[in-house]
Structure 1
Amino acid sequence: MKLRCAVLDDYQRAAASLADWSSLEDRVEVEFFHEHEDDEDKLAAALERFEIIVIMRERTPFRASLLGRLPRLKLLVTTGMRNASVDLAAAAGQGVAVCGTRGNPEPTPELTWALILGLARRLVPEHQALRSNGPWQSTLGIDLYGKRLGLLGLGTVGSRVARVGLAFGMEVAAWSPNLTAERAAEVGVQLAASKEELLESSDFVSVHLVLGDRSRGLLGREELKRMRPTAYLINTSRAPIVDREALVEALQEGWIAGAGVDVYDREPLPADDVFRTLPNVLTTPHLGYVTERNYRTFYGDAVEDIRAFLAGEPVRKLN
């Protein structure tokens, strides 16, 4: 009898065509789910018959409560090698192997710059005005040349964002709790004296930190009030790093000029969410990692993980 594999949250209906699932067909029956399900009761009922589940990043959390309702589950594959929405301890206690995949570092920096450029040159309002026969040239763009780009985090993603900023002729500075002057010099950027100094002096602040106990809520009311009223905040990392209510207040009250946001506390974003209507926010639906090349890597590695599991030698284990 074949094992059953569920591939969740395949929003673009792309998973089937971006990996060779046929290599599993002798032993595994694969089913693709295209719609997101928030309700745990409905989710558990839909997944209780599967031994293998493939998830896309944090789209569907696998907490202990859900895992406990999936007694047949033996293998959980998450795209990427880090997923804070999976309870690894609960999975291990239940005998569920959790494996990850490789990913490509380029897509998120590229989207970060799409947001920065969109904000700086007012692309959305100008596009909308052009389409609706509105005024021809109604805004003034912001020059990036000579402006200060402040990076919270200078890892794989942050360093790529930094190099593009330098190519635009920006002054680039970075800060994170463990960032050293030597690491900053390797990338060619300044080491900010403190988080506060970075926020107070930057025209654009971009978040590139891993979500953890130290980074959760790192930017709250006090921090956002330190930013310039002409400055922009960009977050393509993880939503909880920035306090949601504080950011909404900052945007509504004009503490900052605007924001580029790709990540949210709840995804998909509810229809009545304020981020859908704030006029000084450029929003994207968590597209940082959503590219064809990245998906080919994710799903190709997921198939490899399943084959290894069937052979009794799981690879890329997270627990």
Structure 2
Amino acid sequence: MTLNCAVLDDYQDVALSMADWSALEGSVEVRSYREHFGSEEEVAAAVGDCEILVVMRERTPFPASLLDRLPRLRLLITSGMRNASIDLGAAARNGVTVCGTASNSEPPAELTWALILGLARHVVTESAALRDGGPWQSTIGADLHGRTLALLGLGKIGAKVAAVGRAFGMDVVAWSHNLTEERAAEHGVRRAGSLGELLEAGDFVSVHLQLGERTRGLIGAGELKRMRRTACLVNTSRAAIVDQEALVLALREGWIAGAGADVFEEEPLPAGHPLRTAPNFLGLPHLGYVTRRNYEGYFGEAVEDIAAYLAGSPVRTLAVPD
């Protein structure tokens, strides 16, 4: 019997060309969907015939209510080894095996610097003016050398961002709930004593925390007001760590000089979302992990996950949390 497999949210229509799916010929029929399904009803209608699904990060959530709508589903594969939008307990109760893939931390760290540099040197404004025949040199850039880079989180990605900041000659300070003096020192970084101390010190504040109970809404109006009016906030982690309404207000009222983000609470970002027109906002459509090397890894290992599952020995399984 041939099983049906669908790849969801394949925005660039590249999933089937980024890996060799021929190893599954005769056993699995694979199709991909470029469009995003905005409701559980749409997802169930499109892929209800599938035993296998491959999902990209958290583009489409899989809560219990959706998993209950997919009685044929047996294998769910996510890019990366962590996906907070999949209810692993509900998957287990429904007899669904959840597997992941490797994911490289360099691409989101690199994109963080694209946002920081874009904000510091007003790259979009100046490039648009050059193309459109606007004024020659209309902005004055902010220096990085000698300024303070404040990192919320010093994990794999945060540590890579810190190394580049030091190379630019920046003073790097970091904070998280669990950050120790030893880890900060290991990466040549000062440890802030509190979140407020970090925010007050930073010329550029960059978010690199996991989303959880302690970090959801961590940066609200009060925290944004503690930042310097000349400072910029960058978020390439998870949108819900920063209160989105407060961020729009901070930009419109000039609490901070600017903000950059690659993550949004609703993706794709609705056409009328206020961040689209917020002043001094540099937004990208969640490109942090979207590189050829990552995609080849995601889809190549998805093929391996499917083959291993069919052989009765699933690999890279995601365990149900305690």
TM-score scaled by structure 2? 0.98
Deviation of 1:221 after TM superposition, in Å, equals 1.1
Distance in 1 of aligned mates of 2:273 and 2:19: 35
The answer to whether structure 1 residue 183 and structure 2 residue 187 are counterparts is no
Match of 2:216 in 1: 216
Deviations 1:284-308 (A, max 9, x none): 0000000000000111111111011
What amino acid does structure 1 have at the position aligned with 2:11? Y
1:103-252 to structure 2, matched below 5 A, reads 103-252=103-252
What amino acid does structure 2 have at the position aligned with 1:207? V
Distance in 2 of aligned mates of 1:43 and 1:112: 32
SS of the equivalent of 1:15 reads coil
1:61-76 to structure 2, matched below 5 A, reads 61-76=61-76
Contact persistence 2:252–2:279 (CA under 8 A): no
Distance in 2 of aligned mates of 1:303 and 1:200: 47
What amino acid does structure 2 have at the position aligned with 1:8? L
Distance in 1 of aligned mates of 2:153 and 2:38: 31
Which blocks of at least 5 consecutive residues in structure 2 are unaligned?
A: none
What amino acid does structure 1 have at the position aligned with 2:240? P
1:264-303 to structure 2, matched below 5 A, reads 264-303=264-303
Deviations 1:211-269 (A, max 9, x none): 11111111111111100000000000000111111111111111111101100000000
Distance in 2 of aligned mates of 1:81 and 1:315: 11
Match of 1:316 in 2: 316
Deviations 1:17-62 (A, max 9, x none): 1111110012101011111110221211111100000000001111
Deviations 1:61-96 (A, max 9, x none): 111111111100000000001111111111111010
Which blocks of at least 5 consecutive residues in structure 1 are unaligned?
A: none
Distance in 2 of aligned mates of 1:133 and 1:93: 61
Distance in 2 of aligned mates of 1:273 and 1:221: 19
Deviations 1:175-234 (A, max 9, x none): 001111110011001111211101011100000001111111111111111000000000
Contact persistence 2:145–2:170 (CA under 8 A): yes
Same amino acid, percent of matched pairs: 66
SS of the equivalent of 1:159 reads helix
Distance in 2 of aligned mates of 1:63 and 1:71: 14
SS of the equivalent of 2:102 reads coil
Deviation of 1:279 after TM superposition, in Å, equals 2.3
What amino acid does structure 2 have at the position aligned with 1:175? W
What amino acid does structure 2 have at the position aligned with 1:206? S
SS of the equivalent of 1:76 reads strand
SS of the equivalent of 1:17 reads coil
SS of the equivalent of 2:259 reads strand
RMSD of equivalent CA atoms: 0.7
